[in-house]
Structure 1
Amino acid sequence: MVYAKKVETDKEYQDAIFIRRKVFVEEQDVPLHMELDEYDQEAIHFVAYDGEIPFGAGRIRTVGPSLGKVERVCILPEYRGKNYGNLMMQCMEEYALSKEFHKLKLNAQSHAISFYEKRNYTITSPEFLEASIPHRAMEKVLI
C-alpha cells in the first residue's frame, strides 16, 4: 500500500531525513549543512511509504498568521512520474487546512514549477538561486 502521512515517530522522522539526504544531498549536491537546518526542529514533517519502504518526504513550517511554508518536498527517482508528488502535496495541504492555514508558500525548483502550477500555486518571484539551484517563489490560497 502506498500512502503519505504526518511524521509521528522517531523512525518516521529518520525515514524522512533519509529520503531528503538521498535526493537533495546525494542527487542534487546540496551541502548537508544547508539541507538539514535549524528549522527541522520546529517543522511538521511528512513521509511517504510503499508498504514499509520510505520514498518521499516534505515539511511545513508556520511562517506567519495562517501562513505555512512547504519545504523539502522530494520523491526518490524510482518513484517519480507515478503521481506520488501529488500524494505528498495532498497530505501536506490537508494538514495545512486542518490547522486553518489560509495560504501556503514555497520555493519551487524551476524544473518543478509546472507540477506546482497544476496544484494551483502561482509564481510570486523572479528566478533566484538557492543552494546553487534555480528556484521561484510560489503560493496558493487554501480558503
Structure 2
Amino acid sequence: MIRGVYLNTMNDDLSECRKIYHQVFGKTNKDDMNAEQWRENDNIEDMAIYLLLYNENEVPVGAARLIFDFDGMFKFDGLSVLPEYRKKGYGDFIMHMMFDKAYQSGAHYLVSDDVAHMPEYFKKYGFEIKNQRMILDLKAYFNTHKCCH
C-alpha cells in the first residue's frame, strides 16, 4: 500500500527527503545550493512540514515541503517524484496530502512561487497563475472535490 508521512524539522529525520531532492533536482532553484544546504539555510524551515511518500514496497519515492505563510496561506515547494516512479499516481498522492494538510491546518490558499515548473500539471488541480505565483483556493477546491473529505 502507498503511504505518506508528514515530517517536521524539529523531531524527524529528513534524510530521505534530502536524498529524493538531490536525485530529482541535484541543485535547487535557490542559487547554487544543493538540497541539503537549501534546507539548512532556509530561515523559514522551522515552519516547514515535509511530506514523504513510500511506494508499496516501502521505498521512498517522492517528497514535498509545505511552509506556513501568513494570511491563511501555505506555500509549497520541492514537489518531487523520482524519475523511475513518475506517471504512476505518486505525484497525485503527494498533491492530495498537501491539500489535506493545508486545509486541515486552516489555510485558505496553497501557493507556489515556482510557476515555471510544470504549470499545466498544477492547472489540472485548479491552480491559477497570478502575479508570478500559482494559487489554489482550497475552499473552492474542497467544495468541488467532496469524495475524499
How many residue pairs get aligned? The number is 132
Out of 31, 54, 70, the residue aligned to residue 49 of structure 1 is 54
Q: Hey, what does 2:6 align to over in structure 1? A: 6
Q: What is the RMSD of the two structures over their aligned residues, measured on CA atoms?
A: 2.4
CA deviation profile, 1:32-89 (whole Å, cap 9, x unmatched): 1664341333311100001321010001111112111011110000011112111001
**AA matched with 1:66:** G
Alpha-carbon distance in 1 for matches of 2:122, 2:74 = 15
Structure with the largest fraction of strand:
1
User: Is structure 2 residue 135 aligned with structure 1 residue 139?
Assistant: yes
User: Where do 1:31-46 residues align within 5 Å?
Assistant: 31-32=33-34, 35-36=38-39, 37-38=41-42, 39-46=44-51
Question: Is the Cα–Cα contact under 8 Å of residues 127 and 136 in structure 2 kept in the other structure?
Answer: yes
Question: Is the Cα–Cα contact under 8 Å of residues 74 and 85 in structure 1 kept in the other structure?
Answer: yes
Output the TM-score relative to the length of structure 1: 0.80
**AA matched with 1:74:** S
- Deviation at 1:24? 1.2
Q: Hey, what does 1:116 align to over in structure 2? A: 122
Q: Which runs of 4+ in 1 moved over 4 A?
A: 26-30
Structure 1: stretches of 5+ with no match in the other structure: 127-136
Alpha-carbon distance in 1 for matches of 2:28, 2:75 = 23
Q: Percent identity?
A: 25
Out of 85, 97, 100, the residue aligned to residue 91 of structure 1 is 97
**AA matched with 2:15:** Q
Alpha-carbon distance in 2 for matches of 1:63, 1:89 = 18
Task: Classify 1:122/1:30 alpha carbon distance in 2 versus 1 (closer, same or farther; 3 Å).
Answer: farther
Output the TM-score relative to the length of structure 2: 0.77
**AA matched with 1:48:** L
Bigger mean CA offset, 93-102 vs 28-37: 28-37
Structure 2: stretches of 5+ with no match in the other structure: 140-149
